[in-house]
Amino acid sequence: MTEPKKIRWGIMATGRISRQFAADLKNHVPDAVLTAVGSRSQASADSFADEFGIPHRHADYAAVADDPEVDVVYIGTPNNLHYENVKACLEAGKAVLCEKPFMLNSTQAQELVDLAQKKNVFLMEALWTRFLPMHKALYEFVQHGGLGEIRMVQANFGFRIDFNSTHRLFDPVLGGGALLDVGVYTLAFAVRYLGMPTHISGFADIGATGIDEQAGYVLGYPSGAIAVLTSAIRSQTYNEAVLIGTKGRVRVQERFHEGTVYTTDINGVTETHTHPLEESGLQYQAMEVHRCLRDGLVQSPGMPHDHTLAIARVMDNLRGQWGIRFPGE
């Protein structure tokens, strides 16, 4: 058998997450090749390119979208730049894997999903958790009726950092706040198992810069199921997730979004299920992108457009309740 044709990746931004993605791609995805990187400075692009052996290095993001040697672009830029970066790629016919949160709001998300579908170009939010071995195994267990009907979802994701008005997490210009940074993981977990809620209620502690520093929210569903979720950047929570069904319950152990272990309690019998990761695990979403591209898909069944839109709409609703608006909205 002949080896599959290499899929050529471009990367927008050279920060920590882009560096980790590049490393996992290079070390664990043999049919991928890094061909281009873009940064806001030539020096940063050159340094990143030298580290990963990337031939095309650009001093702006748009050049990556226009690079003819690129098939798909990974976007790791700040939240407020996602819209223009993704749009540039789609207009250029480039497939896109965009870091979470996908967009600042659901209006932007809907526009770009519509554009991708119109142009028949692949687009996916980089909710890498969805493709980790443990989370895939857990989803299959639930889909095959292992828990019966899901009645409750619980998920917490919080950490504590010192207040710094210039840090991206506290800056509304950059789309800061706990909800968009880590709440997206708790929402993605709930949406995966329960879908789009019909009731959304939350309370947030709004800090000095006008963003949510911690929050709790409840999602309600027509079946009576509920999701109870928290997110924080000023409180260190237990970062676990729980599914409760009519047959039993599951706990995804700390830290659930990059989890390797879950325990099941079915009819009083507790079992532990372990699914190790290789390195950080960002390569699994890249493998999914490759599978989708080779199958001619415009979205991934594992992270479909309607889930991205549902998460964005819930976040819009919550920010509306809390009076949080980003500049330009």
Mean pLDDT estimate for the chain: 96
pLDDT tens per residue, range 241-255? 999 999 999 999 999
What pLDDT does 122 receive? 98
Q: How many residues does the chain have?
A: 329
What pLDDT does 161 receive? 95
Domain match, 249 and 191 both: yes
CATH number at residue 192: 3.30.360.10
Domain match, 98 and 171 both: no
In a domain, residue 310? The reply is no
Domain match, 141 and 261 both: yes
Q: Which domain holds residue 11?
A: 7-129
In a domain, residue 115? The reply is yes
In a domain, residue 76? The reply is yes
pLDDT tens per residue, range 244-293? 999 999 999 999 999 999 999 998 899 999 999 888 899 999 999 999 99
Domain termination residue (choose one: 109, 129, 149): 129
Average pLDDT over residues 127-144: 97
pLDDT tens per residue, range 6-34? 999 999 999 999 999 999 999 999 999 99
Domain match, 199 and 90 both: no
In a domain, residue 120? The reply is yes
Domain match, 156 and 97 both: no
Domain termination residue (choose one: 105, 129, 153): 129
